[in-house]
Amino acid sequence: MKIRIFLMAVFVTAFSLLSCNNDNDPNIDVSNVEVQDFIWRGLNTYYLWKDNVPNLANTKNDNATTYLALLNSYSNPADFFESLIYDRQNTDKWSWIVDDYVALENSFQGISKSNGVKYGLVYENGSTVNIFGYVRYILPNSDAATKNVQRGYIFDAINGVQLTVDNYSSLLANDTYTMNFADLNGGNPVSNGMSVQLTKTAYQENPVYITNTFNINGEKIGYIMYNSFTSTYDSALNAAFAQIKANGVTSLILDLRYNGGGSVRTATYLAGMITGQFNGQLFTKERWNNELQDWFETNHPDWLVNNFTNEIYNTDTNGNVLLQEAINSLNLSTLYVITTGSSASASELIINGLNPYINVITVGTKTHGKYTASVTLYDSENFGREGVNPNHTWAMQPIVLEEVNKLGVNDKDGFDPTYELSETLTNFGQLGDVNEPLLAYTISIITNTPPPLAVNSRVENNPLMEVDLPALDRFENTMYVEKQLPYDFGRFNN
């Protein structure tokens, strides 16, 4: 589960042992490695797997000279950060660092540079080098929305250059590029001569992509396609539930097939919208590193829990109320969720958190498998946004906790579907249309009717095989918590 935890304010009062200006050599100069110093202090305090990384041991900065040597071991802050990550390939696949925290902050609000094409990447048939892309959906009021590009289009080149595992990142990162389209040709695309030039601009995406109510065989079925747990749009999500509730729905299909995660707080609100009968009960519980977990459990075990609630209550870093409204609850005992391998983090949290309470039926393919959360740390005395070091704009998003449900469990490998059905490019369908295969299959399950032709005739041997490569936009696959840690919190406080 990809989890982004946004630490709104952290006031740490006892970090004298975390500074290179210690008793061994008070005149040591860290000005040339101040970013590395920030990275070490932050990971030493909050990193979930700090006990597994010898260079994050609390004794590592007891001697200023050896500590400075550690900081100087990598001239690039990103490389130093990477050197402190535990088992990158298998365990911590999600911690990351940025050199522009303004862009990071914007991403948490759904703001990024986009041309409006949301796509996936797939290996060419029989290749481990060449890849091609397919368009999942188009963002409204974007550059792409005015161009000849739509869901299901295949592209295998950018600016006439074939996409590969080595160049896709640089090609697709450009602000302006020409997307070259192709015919699928059994998984080995052949150019069809079509192309479109696309330009990225600042864009704020409303994650509530589709809201609808279907009246099928006398049953009213609500459908919400939700693409990111973005707290800025909590009210929009609540309004979507108000709409389908007013329509008298008795079943809900929550389409999370492309939802990579987001705010844990928003996930908690969504759980309350789906249910409503469990207000005040435990939705999820957090597990931090051993030192922090011991402190929480001894001093404030209540700070480790996220309970079902019947009210949206969002504040800024100063405690000012940004949004307060009653949650529109459906009081459902069964939920139908459409999932794919791109359903991650907070999407999986919804499934896991609700499993002990209601019947959660998933339709599609296995989810991504991310069970952890990260926190935004800034280079300041307390790792908060205020008083940030003016000499640079680095910030990091390390994994700091894992989320478990009421039963104390999660699924680290992803959730297998109750009913399996892969998306296929030969029968992609239109999102929100009752004949789109995944939606049609889910409706047939709800209504206990045979799956329609759109499902039965799909091409079984041509499922989408996503490329397991670092995402171009890390913000799309992550989960974060928005909480304020106490002013007197610190590893050395009693």
What is the reported pLDDT for 464? 53
Same domain, 282 and 423: yes
Average pLDDT over residues 405-433: 93
On the question of pLDDT at 2 being above 80, the answer is no
Average pLDDT over residues 307-330: 90
Distance of CA 17 to the CA centre of its chain: 34
Listed range (11-20, 79-88, 216-225, 381-390) with the worst mean pLDDT: 11-20
CB atoms within 10 A of CB 382: 20
CATH number, position 141: 2.30.42.10
Q: Is the separation of the CB atoms in 412 and 292 below 8 Å?
A: no
Listed range (236-240, 266-270, 408-412) with the worst mean pLDDT: 408-412
Q: Is residue 464 part of a domain?
A: no
Same domain, 443 and 353: yes
Listed range (16-25, 98-107, 138-147) with the worst mean pLDDT: 16-25
Same domain, 188 and 255: no
The Cα 451–Cα 455 span in angstroms is 6
The Cα 51–Cα 294 span in angstroms is 14
Average pLDDT over residues 191-208: 96
Q: What is the dihedral of CA 383, 387, 390, 395, to 10 degrees?
A: 20
**Residue 194 vs residue 492, higher pLDDT:** 194
The Cα 36–Cα 76 span in angstroms is 8
> What is the residue range of 274's domain?
208-376+401-456
**Residue 417 vs residue 427, higher pLDDT:** 417
Same domain, 131 and 233: no
The Cα 102–Cα 94 span in angstroms is 20
Average pLDDT over residues 415-444: 94
The Cα 206–Cα 197 span in angstroms is 24
What is the reported pLDDT for 454? 57
Q: Is the separation of the CB atoms in 207 and 238 below 8 Å?
A: no
The Cα 395–Cα 393 span in angstroms is 7
Among the candidates 139, 171, 204, a domain finishes at 204
The Cα 437–Cα 428 span in angstroms is 7
Average pLDDT over residues 405-419: 94
Q: Is residue 143 part of a domain?
A: yes
The Cα 386–Cα 379 span in angstroms is 10
| Total domains present in the chain | 2
What is the reported pLDDT for 374? 87
What is the reported pLDDT for 453? 66
Q: Which long-range contacts (CB under 8 A, 24 or more apart) does 25-31 make?
A: 25/64, 25/65, 28/64, 28/65, 28/68, 30/68, 30/71
Distance of CA 317 to the CA centre of its chain: 21
Average pLDDT over residues 308-321: 86
Average pLDDT over residues 227-241: 96
Judged by phi (left if over 0) then psi (alpha if -120 to 50, else beta), residue 363 lies in beta
Among the candidates 456, 472, 489, a domain finishes at 456
Q: Give the mean pLDDT of the chain.
A: 87
On the question of pLDDT at 302 being above 80, the answer is yes
Q: Is residue 59 part of a domain?
A: no
What is the reported pLDDT for 83? 98
Among the candidates 179, 204, 229, a domain finishes at 204
Q: Is the separation of the CB atoms in 399 and 92 below 8 Å?
A: yes
CB atoms within 10 A of CB 387: 11
What is the reported pLDDT for 224? 98
pTM of the model: 0.88
On the question of pLDDT at 276 being above 60, the answer is yes
Same domain, 124 and 217: no
The Cα 132–Cα 165 span in angstroms is 10
Same domain, 369 and 422: yes
Place 478 in a pLDDT band, splitting at 50, 70 and 90: low
Same domain, 249 and 132: no
What is the reported pLDDT for 316? 74
Same domain, 371 and 246: yes
Listed range (125-139, 212-226, 373-387, 475-489) with the worst mean pLDDT: 475-489
The Cα 80–Cα 84 span in angstroms is 7
Place 28 in a pLDDT band, splitting at 50, 70 and 90: low
On the question of pLDDT at 460 being above 80, the answer is no
The Cα 287–Cα 241 span in angstroms is 31
Task: Kindly tell me the burial class for residue 470, based on how many C-beta atoms sit within 10 Å of its own C-beta (0-12, 13-18, 19 or more).
Answer: exposed
Tens digit of each residue's pLDDT (9 = 90 or more) over 105-160: 877 776 789 999 999 998 898 899 999 999 999 999 999 999 999 999 999 999 99
Winning range, highest mean pLDDT, from 102-106, 117-121, 248-252, 289-293: 248-252
CATH number, position 244: 3.90.226.10
Q: Is residue 311 part of a domain?
A: yes
Listed range (192-201, 266-275, 321-330, 484-493) with the worst mean pLDDT: 484-493
The Cα 290–Cα 167 span in angstroms is 41
Q: For the chain, what is the radius of gyration of the CA atoms?
A: 24
On the question of pLDDT at 18 being above 70, the answer is no
Contact residues for 69 (Cβ-Cβ < 8 A; gap 6+): none
The Cα 226–Cα 175 span in angstroms is 26
Structure tokens at 199: 């330009």
Average pLDDT over residues 69-94: 95
Same domain, 277 and 335: yes
Same domain, 136 and 251: no
Same domain, 182 and 226: no
Average pLDDT over residues 172-189: 95
Place 5 in a pLDDT band, splitting at 50, 70 and 90: very low
Place 27 in a pLDDT band, splitting at 50, 70 and 90: low
Same domain, 412 and 433: yes
On the question of pLDDT at 10 being above 70, the answer is no
On the question of pLDDT at 55 being above 70, the answer is yes
- What percentage of the chain carries pLDDT values higher than 90? 69
What is the reported pLDDT for 491? 45
Q: Is residue 310 part of a domain?
A: yes
